[in-house]
Amino acid sequence: MFRFDFSVRTLRKLNQGGEVISSVDMSKYSTFKCGGRAKVLVLIKTLEGFVKVTKYLKDKSIEYFVIGAGSNILVSDKGYNGVVLKLSGDLARIESTGDNTIEVGAGVKLSKIFAYTSSNNLSGLEDGAGIPATIG
């Protein structure tokens, strides 16, 4: 059974400015637009916040899962009695590292990567065009 023995305030502090929302309608975070509520949604903005939040949840034995664009999830209409971590912020950025290479956060949508690579004359990712997902 899920133990909900933590404070949202603690999650907010660990998440370093990212949002923490209780009782979230997961249909708003799924490409299928269906499903019930999650106990808590944490919008992760930094890698450090991700590390701190996941360590805390593991230490407390609190069930959680990570999503990007929500393209590969179906949440039960009964909901999810745990914590959902959605990658955003620094984890959804693209950065050129020189020599025709880029560094891409796990939360970057594939469509954004294709637009970036196309406008910067980079190639090799075209086979994934049209997939409504994130890189992670």
Give per-residue pLDDT as tens, 39-89: 999 999 999 999 999 999 999 999 999 998 888 889 999 999 999 999 998
pTM of the model: 0.84
Cα–Cα–Cα angle for 120, 122, 125, rounded to 5 degrees: 125
Q: What is the pLDDT of residues 121-132, one digit of tens each?
A: 888 777 777 777
Region label for 129, one of left (φ > 0), alpha (ψ between -120 and 50) or beta (otherwise): beta
